[in-house]
A and B are shown apart, each in its own frame.
Chain A
Amino acid sequence: MTKSKASVCTPDQQRELLRFMLMAREFDTAMLRLYRQGKAFGGVYSQLGNEAVSVGSAYALDRRNDVLFPMHRNIGGHFVFGQSLDQLMLNHLARNGSQMRGTDGTGHYADPALRIYGNVSHLGAMIPVAAGFSLADKLRGITTVSMTYIGDGGAQVGEVHEALNFASVHKLPLILIIENNQYAYSTPNSMEFACENLSDRAIGYGMHGVTIDGTDVELVYATCVEAVDRARRGDGPTLIETRTMRMRGHAEHDDFAYVPKELLEQWAKKDPVETYIALLDKRKVMSRDEATVLREQILADMIAAIDRALEQPWPNAEEGLKNVFMSEQVGG
């Protein structure tokens, strides 16, 4: 693991990175509350501890031209790419007006205008798709970087192998971030893979690979900027393994008693949001008090968005009985 040196970001960028991370953190906290109140159903997957990865990586992209394929612990990236709180809440709570009309939930939506294409539940399935998205533009002579994610557990799915090899053979501008948060549901790293670093696999695909500390947002950002540059130069895909800790259960139903307390305590000291607040205070980019004001504002916006979403009715039942094919739909 390498350590971040002097800031690679301007003060404005630093403040923005913090803002996105705070949004991600507060979104998670809000979802947790909604789950406990019985208002959020299905799986509520916290990204607590992963904010620096999802924000720092998406922040390295050109969001007008590149494309983001986020996974279940990447809510930060949705904010970086300009998704509104209202839309996210409607999707997560499956209310009327959600982009997927209630057919699916959480971050599974696609918003082509914002260049966000969500995942399916099947881990690894969207990585070949992300590669194909870039391939289409390559055929048109355009370089569109696709960024996508997989967990330390999901990285063992066969499609991941196929997609990485394919992307490397075709020198596609794909960036895959393996979010190693030590656990895949209840299964620790030691039962998921036997290599030292998951990024070591890159060499087998003939692509660049690196393992970094995923709690350091500027390090994540800088590493991804390099990967984006490499992709734009036509030098193909990059595999980045970020090391973090999943600070909550797999989803909120899971009490994660199988995780040793000491491990959580140890990683809590490296909380990506708290350490960044301290760093910006030390650098005099943003004081702690200013950070608190910012956080309160984000929280207020969050609560307002939740209230608006909860005022919405459930989608009309007939939405479930149509549109299986594009040929039934406008534009099909």
Chain B
Amino acid sequence: MIMTYLEAIADAIRVEMRTDKSVFMIGEDIGAYGGAFKLTKGFLDEFGPQRIIDAPISESAIIGAAIGAALNGMRPIAEMQFMDFVTNGFNQLVTVAGTTAYRWSIPVPMVVRGPSGGGVGANPFHSRNSEAWFVHATGLKVVCPAFPDDAKGLMAASIRDNDPVVFFEHKGLYRKIKGEVPEGEYIVPLGKARTVREGKHCSVIAYGSAVHMALEAAAMLEKEGIDVEIVDIRTLVPFDEDSVLASVRKTGRAVVAHEAVMTAGFGGEIAARIADKAFQWLDAPVKRVAAFDSPTPFAPTLEKAVLPNAEVLAHTIRRVCSF
């Protein structure tokens, strides 16, 4: 069935909630209103107020209550109205959720999810890509889907996972990206990259919105005779290092791309692993394409200047291929 990225995520949650009574949702305005992006539209009617819980504007309480419920055998899904507001619940995720398996060997099967990302003229506080923070936290799984089918399968896998998962949905993809999505139960395991495009000259390692950027860049470069391979890592934790290295060993060149800011971004980690484990195969230095190290600005001209785009990525790939 053709679904938008947003519909696919909603579909995953709906399917999991129908089959598993321990799954419930908690968040701001997710009930009768259906959520700020209408992702939970109709959920209250189907599942009732016991399982679609409208919470006060208290991100610590929302995430904390989800952790407590998870410790007590439930599988909560906590919505951040915008992923930016996870900062207000950061302590709960990092200090409590991320340390529990290590310290207690007790599962905390929960998902914290919400819209992240920029490019939609939303201001510095509704545009952030904060996935790298949670990678650095330890003990949290981090998921950043790019396509509707992956969004569905990874959401279902995240709900079923026994570790806390931070699930970054890109709000710019919500309605823009449509695709064929399997109906009913559908799982994409965490920790498996997807080769989105096969190519022989350069590997682009990306996730989230940057995968679409890479597809655009690859189409541009095809006309110039540059054949780009695109590896969508899909999940940052667990990280499918093997697939990334295999692609780089094949093409001999790598550009790492993400929408989040450059410095200490996950791209740096990917580049380091490639340098460490595929050095002999490299014909050029590993390059990164990412946002300028600033908050995401409001005015379209500024935002465009700060965020990476397909032209910049294509240019970088050209340079790597002509090194």
Interface residues in chain A, defined as those with a beta carbon under 8 Å from any beta carbon in chain B: 99-100, 103-104, 108-110, 112, 117, 120, 122, 125-137, 139, 144, 146, 158-159, 162-163, 165-166, 169-170, 323-327, 329, 331-332
Contacts and interface: CB of A to CB of B under 8 A. Distances in A.
A126 B103 CA distance: 15
Nearest to A160: B60
A127 to B, nearest CB: 7
Contacts of A137: 72
B64 A135 contact: no
Given A103-B102, A158-B60, A325 B141 contact: yes
| Dominant secondary structure of chain A at its interface with chain B | helix
A131 B68 contact: yes
B118 to A, nearest CB: 27
Contact of A327 (B55, B62, B72, B163): B163
B64 A125 contact: yes
Closest 7 CB pairs of A and B: A128-B64, A132-B68, A132-B65, A136-B72, A162-B58, A136-B69, A162-B61
Contact of A125 (B58, B62, B92, B104): B92
A30 B53 CA distance: 47
Contacts of A136: 68-70, 72-74
A71 B305 CA distance: 50
Nearest to A170: B53
B246 to A, nearest CB: 23
Contacts of A130: 68
A129 B58 contact: no
Interface in B35-87: 50-51, 53, 55-56, 58-74, 76
Contacts of A109: 103-104
B241 interface: no
A99 B103 CA distance: 8
B217 to A, nearest CB: 34
B189 to A, nearest CB: 11
Contacts of A117: 71
Interface hub of B61, B63, B95, B105 (most chain A Cβ within 10 A): B61
B162 interface: yes
Nearest to B190: A327
A112 B108 CA distance: 13
A211 to B, nearest CB: 24
Interface hub of A110, A132, A169 (most chain B Cβ within 10 A): A132
Contacts of B65: 128-129, 131-132, 135, 166
A166 B96 contact: no
A264 B106 CA distance: 42
B161 interface: yes
A170 B62 CA distance: 12
A142 to B, nearest CB: 10
Contacts of A122: 91, 95-96
A127 B91 CA distance: 12
A129 B104 contact: no
Given A125-B96, A139-B50, A332-B162, A326 B105 contact: yes
B104 A100 contact: yes
B91 A133 contact: no
Given A162-B58, A326-B101, A332-B101, A135 B69 contact: yes
Given A136-B69, A326-B162, A332 B107 contact: yes
B138 interface: yes
A132 B107 contact: no
Given A110-B106, A120-B95, A125-B95, A163 B101 contact: no
Given A108-B103, A169-B56, A325 B163 contact: yes
Given A134-B68, A139-B50, A159 B60 contact: yes
B161 A166 contact: no
B105 A329 contact: yes
Given A136-B73, A163-B61, A163-B64, A327 B162 contact: yes
Contact of B68 (A135, A323, A324): A135
A109 B71 CA distance: 13
8 contacts: A128-B63, A129-B65, A132-B67, A146-B68, A159-B91, A325-B141, A326-B108, A332-B163
A332 B163 CA distance: 8
Contact of B92 (A128, A146, A169): A128
Given A133-B71, A139-B50, A324 B91 contact: no
A112 B74 CA distance: 15
A129 B101 contact: no
A132 B60 contact: no
B185 to A, nearest CB: 20
B64 A120 contact: no
Contacts of A146: 68
B174 interface: no
